[in-house]
Amino acid sequence: MMEWLPLALIVLAVALASLRFALPPRPPALRLTALLLLQLAASVLLYFTLQPPARPGNAGTLVVATSGASAAELAAVPAAAYVRLPEAPALAAATAVPDLASALRQHPGTRELVVVGQGLPARDRDITLPPLRFLANAAPRGLVELQAPPLLAPGAAFNVHSRVQGMPGARVELLDPAGHRVDIVTPDASGRVTLHASAREPGDVSFVLRVLDMGGKVLDQLPVPVRTRASSAPTIRVLAGAPGPELKYLQRWGTDIGARLQTSMLIGGGLQLGDAPAAIDAASLARLDLLLLDERRLASLSSAQRAAITDALRAGLGVLVRTGGTLDGNARRALREWGLEVRGGDQTKPVTLRSVTDAEQNKTPLTVERFNLEFNGTEVVPLLRAADGTAIGGWRALGLGRVGVLPVTDSYALVLAGHADAHAELWNAALASVARPLANAPTLQLPAWAWSSERIGLCGLAAPVQMLADDGSRTALLPDPSADNCVAAWPQKAGWQRIEAGDQHDSILLLDPAKAVALHAQQMRDATFAMRGSAAASTPLPVPVPRWPWLLGFVLVAALLWWLERRRPAGLATQG
Q: What is the pLDDT of residues 294-334, one digit of tens each?
A: 999 999 999 999 999 999 999 999 999 999 888 988 999 99
Whole-number average pLDDT of the chain: 85
Which of 22, 19, 14 shows the shortest CA–CA distance to 40? 14
CATH 3.40.50 fits 235-434, yes or no: yes
Q: Is the pLDDT of residue 537 over 50?
A: no
Round the CA-based radius of gyration of the chain to a whole number and report it.
Answer: 39
- Counting DSSP H helices and E strands in the chain, the numbers are 14, 32
Q: Is the pLDDT of residue 576 over 50?
A: no
Q: Is the pLDDT of residue 169 over 70?
A: yes
Q: Which residues partner with 143 through β-bridges?
A: 164
Higher pLDDT, 65 or 40: 65
pLDDT for the residue numbered 492? 86
Q: ω before 25 within 30° of 0 (cis)?
A: yes
pLDDT for the residue numbered 364? 66
State the pLDDT confidence band at 496, using cuts at 50, 70 and 90.
very high
Q: Is the pLDDT of residue 569 over 70?
A: no
Which region among 66-75, 83-92, 205-214, 455-464 has the lowest average model confidence (pLDDT)?
455-464
Q: What is the pLDDT of residues 237-276, one digit of tens each?
A: 999 888 888 889 998 888 888 888 999 888 776 677 777 7
Q: 344 with 373: CB under 8 angstroms?
A: yes
> What mean pLDDT do residues 194-200 have?
88
pLDDT for the residue numbered 358? 54
Higher pLDDT, 561 or 118: 118
CATH architecture of 142-230: Sandwich (2.60)
Integer Cα distance of 480 and 486 in angstroms: 5
State the pLDDT confidence band at 345, using cuts at 50, 70 and 90.
confident
Crossing angle (nearest 10°) for helices 5-22 and 29-50: 170
The 8-class DSSP code of residue 94 comes to S
Three-state DSSP at 47 gives helix
pTM summary value = 0.67
Q: Cα torsion for 515, 521, 524, 526, to the nearest 10°?
A: -130
CA neighbours within 13 Å on the CB side: how many for 165? 16
CA 32 distance to own-chain centroid? 75
> What mean pLDDT do residues 550-572 have?
77
Q: 480 with 504: CB under 8 angstroms?
A: no
Instruction: Please count the other Cβ atoms lying within 10 Å of the Cβ belonging to residue 442.
Output: 8
Three-state DSSP at 551 gives helix
Higher pLDDT, 377 or 301: 301
Which residue type does 244 have? G
Which of 67, 101, 54, 103 shows the shortest CA–CA distance to 83? 103
Q: What is the pLDDT of residues 427-478, one digit of tens each?
A: 988 988 999 987 665 567 789 999 998 988 888 888 788 888 888 888 888 8
Which residue type does 32 have? L
Three-state DSSP at 288 gives coil
pLDDT for the residue numbered 67? 93
Q: 160 with 194: CB under 8 angstroms?
A: yes
pLDDT for the residue numbered 549? 86
Q: Is the pLDDT of residue 129 over 50?
A: yes
CATH number for 449-514: choose from 2.60.40.10, 3.90.1150.10, 3.40.50.300, 3.90.420.10. 2.60.40.10
